Structure 1
């Protein structure tokens, strides 16, 4: 099947990675079903998607902690477009604070959205895909699903659980002999989204995006790529790949480095912040946004420029050495 004929469901489509992913599929001409709690933001995202030639959209306001709502989301997608080829479990929330300081209601909410929301999504999507005989389930985890961080205990727990869910589902499909239904897990590094502004925060310090910061569009491209060429797991961002490699070879060292880096650059040292539930229990207002203002696009361009300059410098140096030491022919 051509990619443009796919029907794609994206949860958390009102902002950030989910919104960028919805538009990336719309740009390919796919039918996109956008789900999140905020109808106003979903409608704005749908208008952006509809600008792309061939794209069709369906907005379904959905609280992913409500199993009936997620089942209705799958039903609406099938009623409107006849099938579900791709389901992207992406909706996620976060709560920052010392372990003892995060209210249990907030702790539980993070786990409900980030774990049970994905369970509900998988249970809604897989029966449809089994009936079709094909499909791709994509779960968005995080590099903190490989190396957890201090100050975001429920988020780290949830993202480890997402990796476990993907692994167990792949194994189940394998032993059942199912070959054309794929389960993929995406582990983004720090991404420039509104996620950090909307998180619950009990640290007393402003939460900032921990550098290096990458664009949501980078994650969206990786997700689209998984539909074309499914893989077990894909890490988005060179810094994330380096951390995951380190966690495999030297897990204690990776933990120490992550702890230092988180305390140094994930929480502002010169800006206090009041305790807040963030958008955990009541969604943020407005039309939503893809980017969070953390400079992901600009910083990515700067990194590319720096790498290009370094490669050019290396080439010049190599040329000078060859000129000084010509090889006899």
Structure 2
């Protein structure tokens, strides 16, 4: 069998006509080193021509780092929220770091997997992504202990811990809800029904306050808050009953896009025109919003930015161990489509 010779950074240096150190600076994206753009281009072209690929094991040995970060979440990886978060993380860590999805399953020594991975130098730091609907099941005190007492590089994404001792990146659900309700009121809607899941989380508390504050800033606005079950059959029944009373309101706000899809579908089944008879807006968006009929107006969550900013913060911690903890809150963005209109 023919053996292939591994291309080294020295080979790339000879091909590009530069020093090996210059190749290392460019291919490892070392910050603070001034190198001409023409030189960077020449080195990258040489690396591509020779088929050079960095030896991650060698880099790890040289830097005493795993060159990997762990991500821990109770969310299903197929969820859009998880996928967009991962996209943001990857955009921030680049090609030098890899991602390891860790669980909180306990090993034979009594330690959760993510903790064991860190202690065994398989990961350099951890991103925790919350699952708000199951937040009570998470061992927040253990996470905080690792971050503060054991000095493990950790960033908490969407936990709303309000703890100045740890790094947190959160979504401002209040902002999105306030903006959505204000948008409807500005467009002349005075009777609004607000559909929420039948359980309470930090994000739902923020949304509820945002909607209520927007309504309370205006006189004569009627708000009907209606919790509905997230069970599919019960949700459909509740939506059908709500739509049967369509003369009592002119707009519907839903906490989730899934609820809004149910409203759009059942309204069509009942020959109710959206948005001519009722406007519909969701406080969360998804990739499917442009495919609904009519296309759904949403208050999009900054999920990509959540991953990006969380990973950037973790990278800063790995680069500078003296960096101070930082709490960041990301705003939502209103996306107007066909399911809403002014009266």
Q: The TM-score by the shorter chain falls in which range? A: 0.3 to 0.5
> If the length of structure 2 is used for normalisation, what is the TM-score?
0.31
- Name the structure with the higher helix share: 1
Tell me the TM-score normalized by structure 1: 0.32
Greater gyration radius: 2
